């Protein structure tokens, strides 16, 4: 069986990795859909799809999850919610089971007959993309909320300077 997890993963954090491990207790393979793939260079969505692929790939290797267990598929947004499941199906390997905490995602897959599970949230106060980005901008300790390999990727692409520059106003 194959399961699907969708998220923007801006950036991938330890909560995402824990939920991926949990999904892999249920199914043999997990499809990781990187949502809003076309968006980058904004405070809510600072990283490109390619940068996010790199972060997720390295974070899964760091956590000893073999490459044969997952597929990472960037998925652009479409304007039309009623066609979104078909859009996902066009891009991904076939799957039977959907894991999501997002009510809209849950509803759309449920209406198309998929088995949908809401996975438990791990340490949600800290393991949240919004909290990681807030700390990056504030100069607080964000590094412990993400796998070490994600810290390395963000350093490689000068991600903190990017976020701080995006927060500046034109004078
Ligand atoms: P943002 O604050 O930017 O929305 P996020 O932490 O909610 O970031 P997403 O990429 O939106 O991350 O998350 C996609 C999915 O990942 C969620 O619907 C949820 O199922 C799962 N997820 C996110 N955070 C956690 C967590 N701490 N524990 C378990 N699952 C999580
Ligand atoms: Mg979210």
Say which CATH number the domain at 93 has.
Answer: 3.40.50.620
* Residue numbers of the domain that contains 114: 2-166
- List the chain residues with pLDDT less than 50: none
Q: What is the pLDDT of residue 112?
A: 98
**Residue 13 C-alpha to ligand 1 middle, in angstroms?**
8
* Cβ atoms of residues 127 and 145 within 8 Å: yes
- Residue 130's pLDDT is 98
Q: Is 6 contained in some domain? A: yes
**CA distances to 52, 108, 118, 150 from 103, in Å:** 23, 9, 9, 28
pTM of the entire predicted model: 0.97
Q: Encoding tokens for residue 138?
A: 């504030």
Q: Is the residue at 64 inside a domain?
A: yes
* pLDDT at residue 4 in the model: 98
The verdict on residue 111 lying in a domain is yes
- Domain count within the chain: 1
C-alpha 89 – ligand 1 centre gap (Å): 21
* CA 62 – ligand 2 centroid, Å: 23
- Residue-level pLDDT at 171: 87
Residue nearest to atom 15 of ligand 1 (CA): 7
Residue 18, domain member (yes or no):
yes
171 lies in a domain? no
Q: Is residue 60 part of a domain?
A: yes
107: in domain: yes
**What ligand has the least distance to the C-alpha of 127?**
1
């Amino acid at each position: 069986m194959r399961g699907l997890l969708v998220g923007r993963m801006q950036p991938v954090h330890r909560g995402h990795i824990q939920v991926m491990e949990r999904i892999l207790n249920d199914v043999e393979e997990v499809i990781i859909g990187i949502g809003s793939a076309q968006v980058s260079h904004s405070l809510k969505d600072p990283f490109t799809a390619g940068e996010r692929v790199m972060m997720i790939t390295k974070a899964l290797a760091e956590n000893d999850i073999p490459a044969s267990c997952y597929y990472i598929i960037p998925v652009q947004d479409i304007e039309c919610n009623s066609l979104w499941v078909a859009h996902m199906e066009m891009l991904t390997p076939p799957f039977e089971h959907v894991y999501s905490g997002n009510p809209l995602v849950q509803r759309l897959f449920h209406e198309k007959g998929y088995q949908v599970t809401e996975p438990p949230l791990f340490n949600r106060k800290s393991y949240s993309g919004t909290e990681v980005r807030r700390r990056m901008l504030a100069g607080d300790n964000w590094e412990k909320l993400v796998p070490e390999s994600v810290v390395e990727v963000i350093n490689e692409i000068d991600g903190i300077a990017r976020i701080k520059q995006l927060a500046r106003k034109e004078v």
